[in-house]
Amino acid sequence: MKEAQGHIFMEELLIGQKAPDFELPASNGKTVRLSQYAGNAVVLYFYPKDNTAGCTLEAREFRDLYDQFVQKKAVILGVSRDSVQSHERFAAKQGLPFLLLSDRDGAVCNAYQVLKEKTLYGKKSIGIERSTFIIDPEGNIQQIYRKVKSAGHAAAVLQALQQR
């Protein structure tokens, strides 16, 4: 970790390093730990907010390709700072077959360095920068996508999994 002017910065996450483990409440009412998926690839995608246009598009694309991800022995996990109840409603409304994880305090978002300063209508705030991490069956980061555009992203992630 680095410290500058009272702020603590994590070392940058790099391809090949161990993915930070975590435990978060999930949309199925259970608690999920990343390490419980050892032996499978994990597609860990961070998104800003349930029921917004870009996040809905991204979730639907992962949903529509879900069976192909399963064939590649890949688990999809979506993470945002929304509540478990919000995730439950969003998953039900969109028919999502994968879990959404609630990171209310942002600890996992911080560990994966996806919280960024954003400006909307002239107002600055801290929010999730749409990002995806492919984690290999040994728990190492295989691929990192930052500043993701929703349209076509799930297909690009699936293609990366097919090339490994």
**pLDDT confidence of residue 127:** 86
Q: What are the pLDDT digits (tens) for 110-160?
A: 999 998 887 778 888 888 989 999 999 999 999 999 999 999 999 999 999
Task: Name residue, tokens 């028919």.
Answer: 95
Is residue 109 annotated as part of the catalytic site, yes or no? Answer: no
Structural domains present in the chain: 21-162 (3.40.30.10)
Query: pLDDT tens, 69-113?
Result: 999 999 999 999 999 999 999 999 999 999 999 999 999 999 999
Q: What is the pLDDT of residue 131?
A: 96
Kindly state the helix (H) or strand (E) to which residue 158 belongs, with its residue range: helix 153-162
Annotated catalytic residue within 55, 101, 141, 157: 55
The amino acid present at 106, given as its one-letter code, is: G
pLDDT per position as a tens digit, 15-32: 999 999 999 999 999 999
Specify the pLDDT at position 120. 75
DSSP element (H, E) containing 110: helix 107-111
Banded model confidence at residue 11, pLDDT cuts 50, 70, 90: low
- At a CB cut-off of 8 Å and minimum separation 6, what does 19 contact? 34, 42, 44, 133, 135, 139, 140, 141
Which pLDDT belongs to residue 68?
Answer: 97
Residue 5 has pLDDT above 50, yes or no: no
